[in-house]
Amino acid sequence: MTKAIYPGSFDPITYGHLDIIERATTIFDEVIVAVTQNLTKTPVFTIEERLNHISESTKDYDRVKVGCFSGLLVDFARQENATVVIRGLRAVSDFEYELQMALMNRRLREEIVTVFLMPNEKFTYLNSSIVREIAGHGGDISNFVPSMVDEQLKIKFKIT
């Protein structure tokens, strides 16, 4: 059985992430969507809230499991008995950072294989902070995030 981990901060999960998750389920037997705290970012949602959004948004996918970790991704992968890491590549600008992470993760644990998947081009300009920013200004984000996330962002930003 091939298990893959899709790590990220998912603050919040967007249709772009879900596109990658769906593609990954066509390749791997089990896809663990793993939420972690990116120490360089100040989150809007707690880890528990994010886990809840992801579980709700992926409930129709049998092969998807949701989890969280702190510390190194390679240690979490070992704990889960997984060697594959999935990363999305949206544009050339993602490449340098992704290459560095992939090579460093491989250096830290030789068996780790990073697989890059490209989302549908309509999501290439999407990231979580742009969604948060639009939501914070009361803009319409319904084309970018599942309805549950849309509602929760409105609550966070006290938008009626």
CA–CA dist 153, 6 (Å, integer) = 23
Instruction: Yes or no: say if 58 and 66 are a contact pair by the CB < 8 Å rule.
Output: yes
Among 128, 135, 146, 152, binds ligand COA (CB under 6 A): 128
Among 123, 145, 149, 153, binds ligand COA (CB under 6 A): 123
Under the criterion CB under 6 A, does residue 45 sit at the interface with ligand COA?
no
Per-residue tokens: 87: 């990363």
**9, 17, 53, 132: which one is catalytic?**
17
**50, 53, 90, 132: which one is catalytic?**
90
Q: What angle do CA 21, 25, 30 make, to 5 degrees?
A: 105
Part in contact with ligand COA (CB under 6 A); list of ranges 15-23, 50-58, 134-142, 150-158: 15-23
- H or E element, residue 150: helix 147-156
**41, 59, 107, 122: which one is catalytic?**
41
Instruction: Yes or no: say if 87 and 44 are a contact pair by the CB < 8 Å rule.
Output: no
**Is residue 132 among the annotated active site residues?**
no
- In the complex, minimum distance from the CB of residue 18 to ligand COA, in angstroms, rounded to a whole number: 8
Active-site positions read 17, 41, 90, 128
